[in-house]
């Protein structure tokens, strides 16, 4: 296995991840961030894939796989083999995919799959690793990848990041201490993809307000830490959510939207 890229442990992902990732959320923030993804992805897949063919999907950065499980339920007419990939073996324990692989998304351990879905993985990696992951996705897909990302405001990314950097410093809310992350904006990601010749289309972009709720719910923060989280995020208490479809580098087997 490749070197584990940063100091994250399963508990760094939050204490209520399973509940939140599966879409059982309390706030509008987490409903938009987590509960709506399977429906959004299912609609794209239905438009692009013929249900008479079998497909191999990889869920990259799958963790316990709640999103993929919900997505599968929405596509009962499809015959899918799902491979769950995560760099953290413990996170895969409860994943019910057909196959589970512990691996770094920078070097996926297969030749190719038909489709990759990847939600909220990039931001747990530094900038250079994010570029490598995006490149690796295009290398290993035969049809397309669906990527959902949460990150900085494209309009003033550096200023926006100062607030989240302060939160992840963990000085005031130690549970949220995080290292080696990078909250890239969609504008930055699209620039790298263009520079690397990656073909993509942006499917959706929206602002998600009261980002603090995501931390409060996932880490089950007490009242004091919840107040601190909102105070630190201040005027930048929001996230930008973006969805892309990414196509293979080679022009063979591509699908059209």
Q: Are 245 and 257 in contact (CB under 8 A)?
A: yes
Phi/psi region, residue 132 (left: phi>0; alpha: psi -120 to 50; beta: rest), is alpha
| Minimum CB distance to ligand SAM, residue 15 (Å) | 13
Pairing of strands 200-209, 238-246: antiparallel
| Minimum CB distance to ligand SAM, residue 213 (Å) | 15
Residue selected from 29, 30, 55, 86 as contacting ligand SAM according to rule CB under 6 A: 86
Site string for ligand SAM, 186-225 (x = CB under 6 A): ----------------------------------------
| Minimum CB distance to ligand SAM, residue 229 (Å) | 17
Site string for ligand SAM, 3-22 (x = CB under 6 A): --x-------x-------x-
Pairing of strands 54-60, 79-86: parallel
Q: Are 21 and 27 in contact (CB under 8 A)?
A: no
Which residues in the chain belong to E strands, given as ranges?
A: 54-60, 79-86, 99-102, 113-119, 141-151, 200-209, 238-246
Binding of residue 61 to ligand SAM (CB under 6 A)? yes
Site for ligand SAM in 91-150 (CB under 6 A): 91, 104-106, 119-121, 124-125
Between residues 88 and 210, which has the closer beta carbon with respect to ligand SAM?
Answer: 88
Between residues 45 and 62, which has the closer beta carbon with respect to ligand SAM?
Answer: 62
Q: Are 167 and 229 in contact (CB under 8 A)?
A: yes
Cβ contacts of 116 within 8 Å, gap of 6 or more: 57, 58, 59, 60, 137, 140, 141, 145, 146
Between residues 139 and 227, which has the closer beta carbon with respect to ligand SAM?
Answer: 139
Q: Which residues bind ligand SAM (CB under 6 A)?
A: 5, 13, 21, 61-63, 66-67, 86-88, 91, 104-106, 119-121, 124-125
């Amino acid at each position: 296995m490749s070197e584990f890229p940063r100091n994250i442990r399963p508990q760094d992902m939050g204490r209520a991840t399973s509940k939140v990732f599966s879409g059982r959320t309390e706030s509008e923030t987490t409903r938009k961030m987590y509960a709506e993804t399977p429906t959004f992805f299912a609609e794209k897949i239905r438009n692009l894939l013929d249900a008479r063919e079998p497909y191999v999907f990889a869920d990259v950065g799958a963790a316990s796989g709640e999103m993929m499980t919900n997505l599968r339920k929405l596509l009962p007419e499809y015959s899918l083999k799902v491979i769950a990939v995560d760099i953290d073996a413990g996170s895969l324990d409860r994943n019910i995919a057909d196959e589970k692989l512990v691996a770094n998304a920078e070097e996926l351990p297969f030749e190719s799959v038909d489709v990759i879905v990847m939600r909220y993985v990039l931001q747990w990696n530094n900038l250079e690793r994010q570029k490598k992951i995006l490149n690796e996705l295009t290398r290993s897909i035969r049809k397309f990848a669906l990527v959902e990302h949460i990150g900085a405001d494209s309009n003033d990314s550096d200023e926006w990041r100062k607030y989240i950097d302060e939160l992840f410093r963990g000085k005031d809310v130690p549970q949220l201490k995080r290292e080696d992350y990078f909250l890239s904006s969609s504008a930055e990601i699209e620039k790298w993809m263009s520079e690397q010749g990656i073909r993509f289309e942006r499917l959706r972009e929206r602002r998600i307000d009261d980002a603090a709720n995501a931390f409060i719910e996932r880490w089950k923060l007490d009242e004091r830490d919840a107040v601190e989280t909102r105070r630190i995020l201040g005027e930048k208490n929001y996230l930008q959510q973006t969805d892309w479809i990414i196509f293979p580098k080679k022009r063979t087997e591509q699908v059209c939207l």
